[in-house]
Structures are given as structure tokens and as C-alpha cells.
Chain A
Amino acid sequence: MMASSYNAKEEDGHNSGASNNGGAGVVKSKKPDNTAFKQQRLPAWQPILTAGTVLPAFFVIGLIFIPIGIGLFVSSNNIKEFEIDYTGVDINNPCYNCAKNFSWNSTTPCVCSVPFTLEQPFESNVFMYYGLSNFYQNHRRYVKSRDDSQLNGDQSALKNPSKECEPYRTSEGQPIAPCGAIANSLFNDTLELYHIDSNGTRNTIPLVKKGIAWWTDKHVKFRNPGGNNNLTVAFQGTSKPVNWRKPVYELDPSDPENNGFINEDFIVWMRTAALPTFRKLYRIIQKKSSTTPTLPSGKYLLEITYNYPVLSFDGRKRMILSTISWMGGKNPFLGIAYITVGSICFFLGVVLLIIHHKYDTRNNSPDIPN
């Protein structure tokens, strides 16, 4: 407001004095330095995009992208994928009854078997996914409803879970381990796969449950409180999530390396999906020998222990069998996108070439002034 008002009165009469007293020393420092930076004369590269420079780039991009796209497309096409919906909405579905009569309190598990046929044999490792639809794992209230310190084996967090876990924080006065909505809604259908021989016998297909979760999750991010031994003791004083049928330390009693918080099914579930329709890795069917396909074509039976209700929110459950390539699962999007972009680039290259050619000839005639 009053800024520099006094400036007005600064000793005008002292001008002469100031310039005399100022002396050479002060004056010298006022001369601006003659450095490239201060004079805005730093050496600079001044690229100009012209048709001439961009043209080769377009061709190169086109030439690189189209093969990549084709490669992606082919490998995506080569991936075998089989998907089966076992929700049981339809009355003809074998799981209809299980879905219909679902009750949280039932003590006997409802089992249903879905037969299916693989038309083509699945070579190499086959990955078994379960898929859920209309399941909002990315809902904010859901995503934040977890306590990572508890899952990391922190003792205090085990006994006193984060507020974020509400309303799945405590049950019957005891802290829930693992707390939160994500853990509470752990997918607990059991899927088993049988190969039906030509003579009708059911051969169990061995399902490997290791290697389905991220290595870092399993080994660093998730830890059992007090080591992997004696989980029962470690989880003393905590309560199981309300919707679970068994406590966390009984998730896989057979293998202490896969029990408690470091149960891989649990870890996979805890990585919340990005979209409401998602799939999660359930089991891996390892390739047995180089001669026979992992899953030969033929009849199969999927036996489901139906524990997970989805009909209440109009959800769907699927089982997916898929092979994997270097780019992951089957997804034609990338291949098509690459081919499209590559073609566009190539096409533009051609257009530019024509324009450039024309412009060049024009340019050589009277276009440049002077």
C-alpha cells in the first residue's frame, strides 16, 4: 500500500553526491556479467520438425510396429483359453441349486459339478483363473478396508487393527485377523478339475497352488505374526473374519509355508482388481512331459465347492483355463492396436512423402523471399 512511497523523496539533490561517492568499486559490480547464461546465449540445439525429418521416422515406426503387432496378434491368437460360467443363474446349470439355496450358516458345503469339453488340447503350462463380474473390488470403501501392517505381521496391528477396517475390525470384542472388507470377502469356492477318460473314469488333474501370487507379496509384504510356526498361538486372541468358515491359520494346514497371511490364495485376493470384471489366478497346471499336452482335448469335469454367493449383487463367477505367452494372457487388443498404429504411421509416411515432394519442388522456385 505504502510501498516505496518514500521513494519520491529520495534525495534528488544527492544525485551528484551519489555518483561521486559511489566510486568505481560499486559501479563495476553493476555491469552485467557477460556469461552465456545471463545473456540468454547458451548454445542450443534447435530442432525443426519438417516433413523431411519426420518422414523417415514415420516409416521406421510403421515398419517396427506392424511386425510387432502381427507378432502380438498371432501369439494372442495362439493362446488357448476356455471359460465357463458356473454361477448357476440358469436353471439348467448344475450349480443352480447351490446358488439358490445358499445360506451363510449352512454347515455342509454345497458341491456341484460342471462338465465341459475341451475341443483343442492345451499345450505347455495351463493357468486356471476364477473370474468375477460385477464385483467392485475397486470400490473405495473396499479398497481401503485393509491393514497392511497387520498383514505384515505387526503384533500391535494384529491386536489393534486400523480404523480403516471398519466395520470388519472387531467381532465379538476381539480384533479380526485379517481385518477389513477385502479379507472378509475372500473368494472361498474350491475348484477341482477332473479329466474324464474315454472309459468314463475321473482322473484328478493336479493343481499347483504355488507361484500364483507376486513373489514380493508373498515374501515381503505379507508375513505371519511371529513366524510361520505355531500360527494357532500367534493368532490367539483374534477372531476370524465374520464371513469365513475357518480362521486364517487354517487356510492351508497342510503347508506351513502357505498358511496364515502368506496363503497365496489370500494374497492374490488381497491385490484388488482394477475393474469390476476381473480374473484372478487360482491354480497352475504344470506341464508333465514334452510329448503329451498338459490338457488333452476331451471331457472334463469341474467340481465346485460352492461357498461364495454372488447372485445378491447380480454377480457372475467363471472358471478360466488359459495358456500364457510372453505377453501374458489372451488379449487381441494390443496386437490390433499395434497393427493399426503401424499402418497409420506408414500411411502418413506415404502422404508426407508426397506432400514433401510437392512442397520441395515448390520451395525451390520462387517461394523463399528475396
Chain B
Amino acid sequence: MLRRRLNRLLGGDERRVDSRTIYVGHRSSSTTEAFIPPKFCDNRIVSSKYTVWNFLPKNLFEQFRRIANFYFLIIFLVQVIVDTPTSPVTSGLPLFFVITVTAIKQGYEDWLRHKADNEVNKYPVTVLEQGRKIRKESEKIKVGDVVEVEEDETFPCDLILLQSSRDDDTCFVTTASLDGESNHKTHYTVPDTEKDLESLNATIECEQPQPDLYKFVGRMHIYKNEQEPAVRSLGPENLLLKGATLKNTQKICGVAVYTGMETKMALNYQGKSQKRSAVEKSINAFLLVYLCILVSKALVCTTLKYVWQSKPGQDEPWYNEKTQREKDTNLYLKMFTDFLSFMVLFNFIIPVSMYVTVEMQKFLGSFFITWDKDFFDPEIKEGALVNTSDLNEELGQVEYVFTDKTGTLTQNNMEFIECCIDGFQYKYRDANSELDGFCVTDGPVNKVQEKAGREREELFLRALCLCHTVQVKESTKQSQGDGLIDQVDGFGVDGEVPRPPQEQRGFIASSPDEVALVKGAMRYGFTFLGLESKTMKILTRNNDVEMYELLHVLNFDPVRRRMSVIVRSKSGDTLLFCKGADSSIFPRVRQEEVERIRMNVERNATEGYRTLCVAYKYLSAEEYAQADAGLREARLALQDREEQLITIYNQVETGMSLIGATAVEDRLQEEAAETMEALQGAGIKVWVLTGDKMETAKSTCYACRLFQRNTELLELTVRTLDDGGRRREERLHELLLEYHKKAVQDAPPVKAGVTRTWSSATQDYGFIIDGATLSMVLNSSSESNSSRYKNLFLQICQNCASVLCCRMAPLQKAQIVKMVKNSKGSPITLSIGDGANDVSMILEAHVGIGIKGKEGRQAVRNSDYAIPKLKHLKKLLLAHGHLYYVRIAHLVQYFFYKNLCFILPQFLYQFFCGYSQQPLYDAAYLTMYNICFTSMPILAYSLLEQHICMEVLLDNSTLYREIAKNAMLRWGPFLYWTLLGVFHGLLFFFGVRYLFSNPALQDNGQVFGNWSYGTIVFTVLVFTVTLKLALDTRHWTWINHFVIWGSLAFYMFFSFFWGGIIWPFLKQQRLYFVFANMLSSVSAWLVIILLILLSLLPEILLVVFRKPRGPHARQIAAVTPLSYKHLKERE
């Protein structure tokens, strides 16, 4: 940000000029003009925040911007300036510690960013200079350099395409990492440039960098020996964007126009907004409460001090005179400094160390995710990745999961499963493919003839081979990736079946289904060889090459939901092949054929396959002539071209005969259904957001058991809107109200706690909406409707078990997430996806999860957590998330509690020392309490606690509901902990107070002073607080033992040590032998034991009493490891 602003400032006058001029290859346009190379920024990408030099000031500045750190800084400064009861060290040391630890962490993270930056910046690129190819580091590219890029390389900066190795002066590019569109886009070289780049003398004039990816305006002046320069206009089709990848083209040359931070991609990058977890919000709320307590304590003390002092003789008795300076100070100023002093005295109530402990807990805790071997995927040989450790606990709070379909729920790996010809079922058997056992298969391919007639069968296969828009990938170079499938849709190398190398071919298509079908036909022996000048070549089973002249393609569109081709065979027959969804094909074929196939299609559909029906018809010469004329005419039409075309299409596609149907599987991810079921069991609502077709998405939802057989589907799509034949708006209104009535008003009022099982008698609803309708809902014509629709829509959705949103643009996905995120109760959302098109929703949701899928690493990089497979989500949420939440919630509550009972005695002591801000504890204790004596046990607890063991958490997904809605950090529990802290504080102070009514506590009659008093209270405090944690610990590993008993032992040791020596650097030897003397007194021992026991008594009782009572008795009983064992034994 800063850098960009700086750039803007520095580049001020450059910017005023609306365009920049680039000298291609740094050759000046004309020899006469003086050549002043314009200055542009270099091609370095800087994502790191700091450099070695500015790290310290910048980091400190950023850290003190945090309200808590700033508060502690202020306290520290007050201590330095004002005469306060505790030395600045007591708060300065912890603050220093916190700042240092955070700085180290941030420094480390920035170092990683530097490393990643360097990786990009030092990436070698080839630059043409004076006809030579020079390898350079990417960061050294300057504007005007001619850069050469080879196939599958990423463009290092924004380039104007000058030359391509392809004959047609084009190149193919995917911009998957920019906008998520993974199809190949064609870009063109600047027309009529010289082939010889060396002699090219040209300048480019183009606009200043701007973030819009699809806009580019420029001109190119080409100078040829003293002639008038030729001018070519440049558009976005000439611009190759940094981040896009060159495909299908051996190499290209281009001239750099925008570099580094001025590339469109860099400009497009919106800074990842800092995600804050709900826990952090709770902490801040609690902090506010404690701040109020603190201020009121200080106010009470200040007021009482002046009331007390007004009594004669109290303020300044003869034995305790004020210094001259004190006497001279203005009364109000003194009151103010007194107030500040009290603030300082009680400031420990807001634990400085909590932040550092929380931070450490998060940082260290996230390693457990990385380390978890259950997240290791042997296929990609990687485990989980944690990008942010700030959100660990949020994983335990998820209420909505937004998942992408393709690549997340499914593997995005279309496979031809079976087909049916004339009602006979064919299933391809392959040793490698795993087939479900429940399908009745009728035998391998060679028995095909025995089923349907050979003629019909070949016709069907020809139809598959011809009726598509697939292109054969040109390059026949050996694909070294054995079975490696590119991320581009539909480009696959069939590596499963061993074939002669020349037949190893890739297909490119807009839809992966088509590729799957063509490949399916290939398996049965019919190979599509390619389209050459309107002629489609296919290789038949008998190794004959058949040629078909492609006459027309009747394109696919989502409304017709079918596509056709009209071809002419060698023999002169004109044929129309049509394939499409059953619903659109069946009405157009002879009805007697339908029944035979319908059964198969329906069976396939319920199994979650994508089904297509194939039909054909012979066109007589007249028919064809008519259709041909109609099509040509329609294509030339200027008005209503679409409608006219569709009319013609519909005319042609009638009276066909049905040949068969196909079933293509987009395989579900492993354990997708189980995962979804577990999530739903955990009370999480799963929304599927996909760009895919509704039918496909729906079948996937069924397959994932998101929709069950008894789920009533509420559809709000373009189709249902068009049903009534009325205006869409009206229909939308009507449907929304109807669904709302159904799902919200008529639904029995369920309480959050009661809905234990989803598959109960109550009706489940599933909601389906598509992109077009969604935008109607969100952007309704009238303002008032808009918000109303939005509300209705949200309410319906929230009452549905699952929601399916199909045909979503990436931005719409984010919109939906945002809408839910900001809805009532601000539920915690989680987005999971694998592709670049999911990035927007991953960034938008509270927690973004990337799947290390096939579609590049974009999602992973922008995610907060990345996992190899969808199935890992279950453990991530149910086990890790749950545990993290419980840990951190306990950590936070415990921290506030322990500091409250730490400071309360000190507050109470003011009533006995004339409100003089006399600290009860020694400075060393004040400082060390949070850093050393009580920090380690809670840290160990918050890293290792498993109040319920992982297996149980995974098996009983309902346990997740128990911590839903921030259950452990709501005001109820907070009040409980606060009261506990108050109770303990009161007990500690007054217990010792009554003991000290006679300070002769030693058996030799000697008396104890105020430091002994404080030490006894402090000892009770440290022990109680630590033992309280021990009571809460359900999972005692050796580390817990070591840390808990270790810190108690350390306290003892430290106290002896601290009191055992006259410390030369101390002004006062307050604690000299105080601790040892305390231990020599039996009464002190007795009171310590008594108070510890008494403080813990209610806690023990509560634990014991809570067990048998309460509504959750059973569950808790079933959950505790012991009884869990019992359960296991029973089973």
C-alpha cells in the first residue's frame, strides 16, 4: 500500500501524462531525435513488508498500533514519568518480551515472503538483445525488453505479442491464475509487423497501467526506412498478462509494456484483508470489561484516598511526612497522578502476556495440522498447509461450509462409464478403473455384437465420434507426463490403456464431458482423428478411415440443453446427430424408442452419473436444403439472430430416432459423502456453489448425500421462473413467498439444541438457485424489493439442510458468502475450493480452505489452510477445530481469571494501607507471575489438551454442536470465570488477613511484616491457579506433568533464590529471607493449604455434580474416555 502510494507520489508527473511510450528493444524511433529512455519501475515484485533497514521502526510502529500493545506502552510510560508504586521494569519487561516475540514471528514470516519474492524475481527468462538471447533474472526485465517465452511458461510481465511460433500468428494462453478461466484463449500478434524482430523499429504508445484485466488501449508506430511510420492499434487481444501461461504454442516473443508492480496482476491484487477470529473479538470484548473494572477500581481507590485523607492526621502523620515536592504539587494534578498510579498498580489485570501466549499457542498449535499424518496424501506426497495460524479456533466454530463442486466434491476427472444402445447396456471393463459392484454389466466390448445389432452399435459410436466440438491437440510430441492430466478442462492424455504412441492424443473441448465421450468411443474402437477443413476423420474399429463433411454445428446452449451436428458421409447421406439431456431429447424422438432407454437413463442419473441421450436422423436432400438455407439466413440476420437460430434448430431437431444414452461419471472425491454427512451431523450447513450446470450439480449433491431421497427440493432457477409464462419478476416474487411459507413459516419451530438428528421425521428442504436468478434476487429492480427478497432468500436458505447454487460466477460465490456472513448472528463461514475461481470466496469467508487439487495452486495460496483432499476437512473441523477452540477458549478465560484473582487482593489491600498504592506483592512477583510462574502450564494445556479424544470427536459429529456459537466464550462462562476469580481473590486476601490479625506467627514469637503477608497470598495464588488448571486438564501427558509441577517447583526455587541473596542491584531487599521464614511457620503452611483447598472445593464439587445431572449427562458419560471404553466393549 505504502509503496503504491509512494509510487504514485513519485510518479506524479509521469502519471499526468496519460500514456507511456515504449521503445521496442530500446531502439530509438529516429536517429535525429534525442533518445531519452523513459523511466519505469523494474520488474520486481515486492510482497514483503520490511527490509533489513526499516524492519525495526516499521515493525514497532505496526505493533504499537494494536490497541493492547499501545495500552501497555502507555502504562510503561506512565511508570517512567510518574512516581508509581511499581517500577517500570514490571511492565516494561513483559512488554519487551511480547514485542520481541511478535517481531521475531513477523520477521520470520517476512523472510519467507522475501524468499518467495526472490523465487519469482530471480526466475530466469530469455531476453533478446541485439539479436542475441540473453538469460536474465525476471526482475531485471525493463520496459521495452523483448522477452521470449516458451510453452507452459508464465509470462514474467505484461507483454505485447510480437511474434509467435505458430503459423497463424496466434498463441494460446490460459489465465487460470488470474481470473480462474481455465480455457485456452487466443491472442494475436500485432498485425503486419516484421518477422525479423531485430530490425523492427517501433514504439508503442499505451495507457498508463490500470487494473482492468480486459482493457488495454495502445498504438504501435512502426518505422521503416524513412517512411511515414505505420500505425497499428493494439487491444487486449495483443496483450499477454503476467501470470497467464502460454499453451499450445512453442514460443512467443513479446515486448514488455508493464513490469513489476505495474503489471495488471499486481495492480489487481487486493491485499488480503486481515481475518480476525471470533475468539479475538471475544477477547476484545472481555478486555473492555476488564478495562472498565480497572478504571473503576482506580477511580474508587482515588476517591476513597481523598476521603480518607480528609480526616485530620491521616494524610500526613508526623511519622510519614511528605516530601517538599509532594507538598508543592497541585491538588488536581496529584489526584490525576494518583489515578494513574492506581491504574499502574492494577494494570496487571489486563494480562500483557495473554497476547503473547495466544499468539504462541496459535503459532505452535498450527504445527499439529501440518504434522498430522492423516492429512498426508500419498498421491501428491504432501500434507496440510497452514497459511494463517490466526484462525485455528475458527475451525471449531464453522456454521456454514461453502464448497465448490468441480475438483472439490468431485475429482474433475470425467470418465465414460457406460452406455446403452437400444436399451442394452454396455459397460466398459478396464482393469485400472474401479467400478462399483452394483452395476450389472453385460460383458466386455468384444461381446457387444451379441447385444444390439452391430449396425446400431456402430451408428451410436459414430454419433459419439461426430457429435461434438472437440479438437485434437496438435502437437504429437511424446507426452512425458505419464497419465498426467493438465489442469485445462478436457485436455487429457489417455494413459490408462496402452496404445501405440501415434494414437496417444489429447483432446481439447469446452466441456470435459465431450472429451470423455470421445474417449469412450475410442475405447470401443472408434477414434476421432480430427477436423481438417470441414472434414471430420474417424478411424473405425476395422482401422478404416472414414471421412465426414461437417455441414453445420447446432451449438449447445443451456436452454435447449442439446447440440447437434449435420454431416455428410462419403456415400452422400446427410445425417444429423444430436445429443443432449434426456428431457430435451425424449420429446423429439419416436416415443416407442424412449421407454427402452428411459429406464437406463434414470438409473444412471440416480447413481450420480451425467447422462446424455444420443439421437440421429437422416436428412433428405430437400430437408437439408431447407435447413441449410434457414441456418444461413439466420446467421446473417442482424436482428434477433439468436431467436431465429433457435427456431431453425428446433425445426431441424425433430422426428429423430433415439440410438442410446451415455453415462459419464465425474467421480466424487474419496469419502465425499461421508465427509458431507459428518459436517451436516455437526450442525454445519453445506452450500454447494458451482459454476456447473444444475443437473450435474444436483446429481453430485445426491451422490454426496447432501440431498437425500426424502429431501424436498425448492428450485429457484431460470427454468422455474419461465414456467408460469409470466414475467420473471412476478414469478420470482411468487416463488420466494411460496418457498418461504414452506420452509420457514410452516416448519416446526425447532430449538437449536433439540435438532440433534437431521434425518428425522421433519421434512428436509434443499434449495436450488442459479446465478441468473440470484442476481435477480440480489439486484432486484426496485430498492425495497431487493432487500426484502434478500431477506426471504436468506431465511429460506437458512432453513434448508443444504443449498445448491449453480451457474455461479466467481464473484457471485463471494457475494453469497458475504451475504451469509453478514446475516443475522453473523455465522462463521468456511469456503473450500481448489480452483482460481474459488479464490474470491476463499478470501471472503471467515476461513478459506484450499484443496491442493489439479487446477493449479491459486486457491491454496490464497487460502488460510490447504488440505490435499476434501475428506480431510472432516478431521480438520471436527477434531482439530474442536480441540483448538476448546483450548483457546479455556486459555482466554483462564488468563482473565488468573489475573483477576492476582490483582483483586492487591486492590483489597489498598483499603488497609490508606489507599497509598502500596503493592501487596514484591515487584519480582508482579513481573514474573504472568511470564514464568503461571504461563507454561496454560500454554502446555492449550497445546495438548484433548478433553475428548480425537476418535470420539470424529465418530460423534454432534459433539461439534456443543461448542457452536462460541459457546465457551459467551458472557455466561465469562461471568462464571470472573466470579470464580473474585471468589478466589477475596478468599486469598481475607484468609491471610484474618491470619495476620496476630502477626506473631512463628513459634519464637517473632512477627511477620507486609512482605510476608504478600508472599503468603502470592504462594496461595500461584498454587491455586496452577492446581485449578490441573483440575481442568483432562489429558495429562508427561509434558503437562512436567510443566505443571515444574512451574510450582520453579516458583519455590525462585522464591528461595530471590530471598536468599542480598541483591546488589536492588534498592530494597524486601524479600530477604521472607519466603524461608514463611515456610518455617506452621501457621503459614496451614493457612496456605487451607486456602488452596477451600478455593478448589467449589470447582471439584461442580465437576462432580455436573456429571450426573443436566441434560447432557448421557453424552458426557458416553464421551469420557472411560465410559467410551465401556461402550466399545459392549459393541
Contacts and interface: CB of A to CB of B under 8 A. Distances in A.
Contact of B1100 (A34, A54, A136, A166): A54
Contact of A211 (B153, B246, B375, B1004): B1004
A39 B372 contact: yes
A354 to B, nearest CB: 12
B1006 interface: yes
Contacts of B372: 32, 38-40
A143 B151 CA distance: 81
Contacts of B916: 136, 138-142
A172 interface: no
Interface string B1084-1108: 0011001001100100110111011
A140 B1010 CA distance: 11
A33 interface: yes
Contact of B999 (A6, A44, A273): A273
A324 B857 contact: no
A279 B320 contact: no
B1035 A46 contact: yes
B371 A33 contact: yes
A116 interface: no
A61 B317 contact: no
A31 interface: yes
A146 interface: yes
Interface in A320-337: 322, 324-331, 333-334, 337
A148 B321 contact: no
Nearest to B1067: A162
Nearest to B112: A4
A3 B49 contact: yes
A327 B3 contact: no
Contacts of B1056: none
Given A274-B1009, A328-B1003, A3 B1108 contact: no
Contact of B1107 (A50, A220, A243): A50
B1104 A3 contact: no
A142 B326 CA distance: 14
Contacts of B996: 274-275
Nearest to A278: B999
A324 B1005 contact: yes
B1036 A9 contact: no
A27 B1108 contact: no
Contacts of B944: 40, 42
Given A3-B49, A221-B1072, A334-B1086, A16 B484 contact: yes
Nearest to A28: B381
A interface bracket (residues with beta carbon within 8 Å of B): 35 or more
B116 A7 contact: yes
B364 to A, nearest CB: 12
Interface in B994-1031: 994-1014, 1031
B811 interface: no
A143 B918 contact: yes
Contacts of A279: 998-1000, 1007
Contacts of A34: 373
B382 A9 contact: no
Contacts of B1007: 129, 268, 271, 273, 278-281
B1003 A327 contact: yes
Contacts of A278: 999, 1007
A369 B154 contact: no
A213 interface: yes
Contact of A136 (B177, B320, B999, B1103): B320
Given A140-B85, A243-B318, A370 B1130 contact: yes
Contacts of A91: none
Contacts of B1010: 137-138, 143, 272-274
B1034 interface: yes
B123 interface: yes
Contacts, number: 377
B1000 A11 contact: no
A233 interface: no
Contacts of B784: none
Contacts of A49: 1031, 1100, 1103-1104, 1107
Q: Which of B174, B317, B481, B1094 has the most CB of A within 10 A?
A: B317
A312 interface: yes
Contacts of A276: 912-914
B385 to A, nearest CB: 10
Interface in A22-47: 27, 30-34, 38-40, 42-47
A44 B368 CA distance: 17
B47 interface: yes
B584 interface: no
Given A39-B373, A140-B913, A27 B381 contact: yes
A140 B918 contact: yes
A216 B46 contact: no
Given A40-B368, A278-B1007, A328 B1000 contact: yes
A185 B998 CA distance: 22
A319 interface: no
A280 B313 CA distance: 23
A144 interface: yes
A2 B383 CA distance: 27
Interface string A53-74: 0100000010001001000100
Given A47-B1036, A68-B1086, A214 B1077 contact: yes
Contacts of A14: 152-154
Given A3-B113, A5-B266, A185-B319, A32 B376 contact: yes
Interface in B145-168: 151-154
Contacts of B238: none
B856 A213 contact: no
A275 to B, nearest CB: 5
B45 interface: yes
Interface string B112-135: 010011011001000000000000
A330 B998 contact: yes
Contacts of B826: none
B269 A31 contact: no
Contact of B858 (A6, A8, A125): A8
Interface string B665-688: 000000000000000000000000
Given A274-B1009, A338-B1090, A331 B997 contact: yes
A367 interface: yes
Contact of A42 (B318, B999, B1037, B1073): B1037
A119 interface: no
B435 interface: no
B585 interface: no
Contacts of A312: 313, 317-318
Given A27-B381, A68-B1086, A338-B1086, A152 B1062 contact: yes
B477 interface: no
B861 A4 contact: yes
B912 A275 contact: yes
Task: Give 10 nearest A-B pairs by CB, closest first.
Answer: A185-B319, A329-B1000, A9-B243, A274-B1013, A5-B269, A13-B152, A7-B861, A38-B371, A313-B313, A127-B1005
Interface of A: 1-17, 20, 27, 30-34, 38-40, 42-51, 54, 61, 65, 68, 72, 125, 127, 129, 135-149, 152, 162, 164, 166-168, 181, 184-185, 211-214, 216-217, 220-221, 243, 268, 271-276, 278-281, 284, 309, 312-314, 322, 324-331, 333-334, 337-338, 341, 344-345, 348, 352, 355, 359, 363, 367-370
27 contacts: A4-B47, A7-B47, A12-B154, A13-B152, A13-B245, A16-B484, A39-B373, A42-B944, A42-B1039, A46-B1034, A48-B1034, A72-B1086, A139-B320, A141-B322, A164-B1068, A167-B321, A167-B322, A184-B319, A214-B1006, A217-B1072, A309-B318, A328-B998, A328-B1000, A328-B1082, A333-B994, A355-B1105, A363-B1108
Given A11-B123, A141-B326, A309-B318, 13 more contacts: A4-B862, A8-B178, A8-B269, A13-B152, A16-B152, A33-B373, A38-B367, A42-B1037, A49-B1107, A65-B1090, A139-B914, A274-B1008, A314-B313
